[in-house]
Amino acid sequence: MLGRGIWSSVRQGLSRGLSRKVGAWALGEGRRVDIAGIYPPVTTPFTATAEVDYEKLEENLHKLGTLPFRGFVVQGSNGEFPFLTSSERLEVVSRVRQAMPKDKLLLAGSGCESTQATVEMTVSMAQVGADVAIVVTPCYYRGRMSSAALIHHYTKVADLSPIPVVLYSVPANTGLDLPVDAVVTLSQHPNIVGIKDSGGDVTKMGLLVHKTRRQDFQVLAGSAGFLLASYAVGAVGGVCALANVLGAQVCQLERLCLTGQWEDAQKLQHRLIEPNTAVTRRFGIPGLKKTMDWFGYYGGPCRAPLQELSPTDEEALHMDFSSNGWL
């Protein structure tokens, strides 16, 4: 683990040169960082022997860096963060910081199961260059993760984080849907700037936008499958696994939505649903990485216990792209 004492870490984090990324909150400007836009949740490349392949990571970043993304999410669920050691998690963020264009945002996943570990990881993420921390709900004790417990957890993290915090709800992985009332309460915290919601429930997303309208709180869609619908109800962007392979198209969908070209947006959205499902719910990260190989990025293997796709699955994956005109 990172340090012996959380408080010393926090103190170090606050005293060290965090000036670059110290946002509106710390400076008391009263305006939050603008996170609107599209982000690919970057995958973590591994070598054949399951070591992190930092060179391939940088190569991917250089390619992705030419697209009009707002920034990059590192160690969202697609980054296989539960399979990385703490030092790997930090090293990956550090390398992405170096490899990515200076004008883009780096959102780093810093969620751990305990509040203490999450605070430490968040501080460390800031130290290695993250602009924003994106914090998944703790979930192993989901039966006890009441709104009160989650509010307590995120408040502590946001209080101690030197960088702005984005909430992250991803029920398919955590078995836990961050409740509306908890989000509304947390939206009032000056250092919590938004939420990435991967649940796909646009009724909930619309309600979040509505009930946080006085808080300058920003909602990001957690998937390209419901990106258009999310914009329609007031989301300001998306973190989309599919953007790792069809990045230009996802950004085009964003542009069509922002400029009110809803008919063209709808046509494009339709063609992205099956490919999106294929690289998320249907075939998971193995599917995403396989597709990256097809689209000129480095995908490579996952760490175990994630398994390679079977030939049959690979064929079905290919069909999900080709039948929509992308391969």
The 8-class DSSP code of residue 162 comes to S
Distance (Å, whole) CA 248 – CA 253: 9
* Active-site option among 21, 196, 204, 290: 196
Q: Which residues bind a second copy (CB under 8 A)?
A: 1, 50, 77, 82-83, 85-88, 113-117, 138, 140-146, 148-150, 152-153, 156, 172-175, 200-203, 206-207, 209-210, 213, 223, 225-226, 228-230, 232-234, 260, 262, 265-266, 269-271, 273-274, 276-277, 281, 284-286, 303-307
Looking at the Cβ atoms of 27 and 148, the one nearer to a second copy is: 148
Residue type, 84: L
- 196 annotated active-site: yes
Shortest distance (Å) from residue 86 CB to a second copy: 6
The answer to whether 239 is a known ligand-binding residue is yes
Distance CA 201, CA 180 (A): 12
- Residue 186 and residue 148 in contact, taking contact as beta carbons nearer than 8 Å: no
Question: Strand locations in the chain, DSSP E?
Answer: 37-39, 41-42, 71-74, 105-109, 132-136, 165-169, 192-197, 218-221, 237-239
Q: Which of 154, 168, 231, 297 is the catalytic position?
A: 168
Considering beta carbons, is residue 66 or 85 the nearer one to a second copy? 85
313 φ, ψ (degrees, to nearest 5)? -65, -40
Q: How far apart are CA 196 and CA 169, in angstroms?
A: 6
Annotated catalytic, 168? yes
Which residue number, 8 or 87, has a Cβ lying nearer to a second copy?
Answer: 87
User: Cβ of residue 42: shortest distance to a second copy, in angstroms?
Assistant: 17
In the bound state with a second copy, the residue whose beta carbon lies nearer, of 36 and 149, is: 149
Q: Which residues are annotated as a binding site for pyruvate?
A: 239
- The residues assigned a catalytic role are 168, 196
